[in-house]
Amino acid sequence: GAGVSQSPSNKVTEKGKDVELRCDPISGHTALYWYRQSLGQGLEFLIYFQGNSAPDKSGLPSDRFSAERTGGSVSTLTIQRTQQEDSAVYLCASSQLGTGELFFGEGSRLTVL
Amino acid sequence: SQQGEEDPQALSIQEGENATMNCSYKTSINNLQWYRQNSGRGLVHLILIRSNEREKHSGRLRVTLDTSKKSSSLLITASRAADTASYFCATEVGGNTPLVFGKGTRLSVIA
């Protein structure tokens, strides 16, 4: 597709379960970002992939969170043993190296009961 | 940690009025960007201003940057009801670092 695609758009899970969120960036974009947005709040940086460089994981809130990017394209954010405070919208964005502009997906809304 | 902070947190104006939102940041930057977010949607890039630029225009948008005060403003002229959204500033500190977003300003334009 032409834009950043995220799935699922909505996920309801029980506390303690694992979830996987997927991001399909714009073709050719070398950089991929994950952010988290709680209700009515700003964006909290989670992790950043740039080309073949080691990802910047400095924003991951705990070791329950991990992400990978396969083949420099699709990325999966995994949250293990989900907690209620993990409930938020998880936003993925991609960009071309050097342009600065981020293109965002519509987000995955996670609700942990 | 939050690099940029927008002010005000919320703004309500009448259609046709101008809306001004401000952003302050803490460290030196490469560029500053403004994004818009409609309720329940992803963010959309509006404008990017580099650290060596002072003012930039795009349609009804005007962005200024004052690096000595570490602040930026976004002016939307002749506002429309469709401008109702949250507006975020984001700063890039270095060439290979992620954008850091503020908490946003919620703008309501009343028809």
At A57-93, the pLDDT tens digits run: 999 999 999 999 988 799 999 999 999 999 999 999 9
Chain A residues close to B35, C-beta within 8 Å = 102, 104
- Can you give the pLDDT at residue B1? 46
| HEC string for chain B | CCCCEEECCEEEEECCCCEEEEEECCCCCCEEEEEEECCCCCEEEEEEEECCCCEEEECCEEEEEECCCCEEEEEECCCCHHHCEEEEEEEECCCCCCCEECCCEEEEEEC
Q: Can you tell me which residue has the tokens 């200024």?
A: B64
- Can you give the pLDDT at residue A79? 98
Selecting from A59, A100, A103 the residue whose C-beta is nearest the C-beta of B33 gives: A100
pLDDT at B2 over 90: no
Q: What is the pLDDT of residues B34-93, one digit of tens each?
A: 999 998 888 999 999 999 999 999 999 999 999 999 999 999 999 999 999 999 999 998
> A16 to chain B, minimum CA–CA distance in Å?
26
Chain A residues close to B99, C-beta within 8 Å = 33, 45, 102
pLDDT at A100 over 50: yes
| B3 touching A (Cβ < 8 Å) | no
